[in-house]
């Protein structure tokens, strides 16, 4: 499992190519050759970049769902909608497909934010709004999610 660290700003060019920062590329270096999966976020207007190994681990869990249960089948369809395999080009740029650019509202200024084992890719203004909107709830959220040692929801 990879643990990514940091928030980085960048710019997407007119074709949707995004140059990853040297610091982020250094963290990703051991897995660059395996490629990535880029998808829509379920909860936010951003994209999620999964290293291929992390995607395969997640898909193994999704694949355990019984597809003869309509709710499961609907979830799988929505979760994988718009999923693309992407790689960095020779210049270290990531091409964000047009449909995913549109979904996330990415035009030029971009924020790449580590989220443990994936990278969220945001339009900079939407990222700042999401951070500002969540600022007042952070303490309550931290207490609810991380504060109960007896019920840690898989966190050790």
pLDDT tens, residue by residue, 71-88:
999 999 999 999 999 998
User: What is the model's pLDDT at position 156?
Assistant: 45
Q: Domain 7-146 adopts which CATH fold?
A: Chemotaxis protein chec (3.40.1550)
Distances from the Cα of 107 to the Cαs of 18, 54, 62, 91, in angstroms? 11, 27, 32, 20
Domain range list for the chain: 7-146
For residue 118, give both structure tokens.
């994936």
pLDDT tens, residue by residue, 102-146:
999 998 999 999 998 999 999 999 999 988 877 667 777 778 888
Question: Span 29-58, mean pLDDT?
Answer: 93
pLDDT tens, residue by residue, 9-38:
999 998 999 998 889 888 888 888 899 999
Strands 84-86 and 47-51: unpaired
Question: What is the pTM for the complete model shown?
Answer: 0.86
Distances from the Cα of 77 to the Cαs of 39, 42, 63, 80, 81, in angstroms? 12, 12, 12, 5, 6
């Amino acid at each position: 499992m990879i643990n990514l660290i940091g928030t980085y700003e960048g710019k997407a060019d007119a074709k949707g190519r995004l140059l990853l920062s040297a610091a982020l590329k250094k963290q990703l270096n051991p897995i660059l050759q395996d490629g990535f999966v880029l998808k829509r976020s379920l909860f936010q207007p951003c994209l999620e970049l999964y290293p291929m190994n992390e995607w395969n681990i997640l898909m193994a869990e999704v694949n355990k769902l019984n597809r003869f249960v309509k709710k499961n089948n609907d979830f799988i369809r929505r979760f994988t909608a718009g999923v693309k395999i992407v790689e960095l080009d020779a210049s270290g740029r990531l091409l964000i497909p047009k449909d995913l650019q549109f979904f996330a509202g990415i035009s030029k200024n971009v924020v790449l934010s580590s989220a443990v084992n994936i990278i969220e890719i945001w339009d900079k203004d939407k990222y700042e709004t999401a951070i500002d909107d969540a600022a007042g709830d952070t303490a309550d959220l931290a207490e609810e999610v991380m504060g109960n040692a007896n019920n840690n929801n898989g966190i050790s």
